[in-house]
């Protein structure tokens, strides 16, 4: 079914905005570049999923299994990640501003937006709370976490012909 959605262009044209995929098994799927803004992925299995450049603004990912997911350049602004499992996930250059991360599971294999590994001492509010004294913003203009203005919820690289390195 996922390949049919891809063939129809539904993963690229915004059709997945607000989609309900509660408890969906998308393990190992290639969803890179899709717009899943405000999608309901509650308790979805997204283990080892390719989410490179995916827009998940305001998405509901509470309780989702995201272990070992490739989440480079993912826009998770205002997403609900409470109770999600992000152990081993790669969040380099991801935008976590406003994301809800209570009880989210990380481990020393989780790569954070600033390219550091998570540790028990990591202050995750540095990535989620714009009022934090050391709030992290990327210096990479391709990153959705770059401080440049966002256009209609789209990441800054939408109209750029040069994609960020994977």
Q: How many domains does the chain have?
A: 1
Residue 34 lies in a domain: yes
| Bridge partners for 50 per DSSP | 30, 70
Residue 138 lies in a domain: no
Residue 150 lies in a domain: no
pTM of the model: 0.85
Residue 60 lies in a domain: yes
68 and 47 Cβ atoms separated by less than 8 Å: yes
Question: Residue 26: CB partners within 8 Å, gap ≥ 6?
Answer: 2, 44, 45, 46, 49
Residue 46 lies in a domain: yes
Residue 87 lies in a domain: yes
Residue 115 lies in a domain: yes
Reduce the DSSP state of residue 3 to 3 states and report it.
helix
For residue 3, report the phi and psi dihedrals to the nearest 5 degrees.
-65, -30
Identify the domain containing residue 32 by its residue range. 1-130
139-150 pLDDT tens trace: 999 999 999 765
33-92 pLDDT tens trace: 899 999 999 999 999 999 999 999 999 999 999 999 999 999 999 999 999 999 999 999
């Amino acid at each position: 079914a996922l390949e049919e959605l891809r063939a129809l262009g539904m993963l690229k044209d915004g059709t997945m905005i607000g989609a309900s995929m509660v408890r969906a098994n998308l393990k190992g799927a290639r969803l890179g570049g899709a717009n899943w803004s405000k999608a309901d992925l509650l308790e979805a299995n997204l283990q080892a999923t390719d989410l490179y450049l995916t827009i998940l603004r305001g998405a509901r990912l509470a309780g989702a299994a995201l272990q070992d997911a490739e989440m480079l350049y993912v826009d998770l602004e205002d997403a609900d990640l409470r109770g999600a499992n992000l152990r081993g996930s790669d969040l380099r250059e991801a935008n976590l501003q406003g994301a809800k991360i209570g009880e989210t599971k990380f481990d020393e294999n989780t790569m954070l937006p600033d390219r550091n590994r998570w540790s028990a001492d990591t202050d995750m509010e540095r990535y989620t709370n714009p009022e934090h004294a050391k709030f992290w913003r990327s210096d990479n203009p391709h990153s959705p976490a770059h401080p440049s203005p966002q256009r209609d919820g789209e990441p800054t690289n939408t109209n750029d012909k040069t994609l960020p390195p994977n």
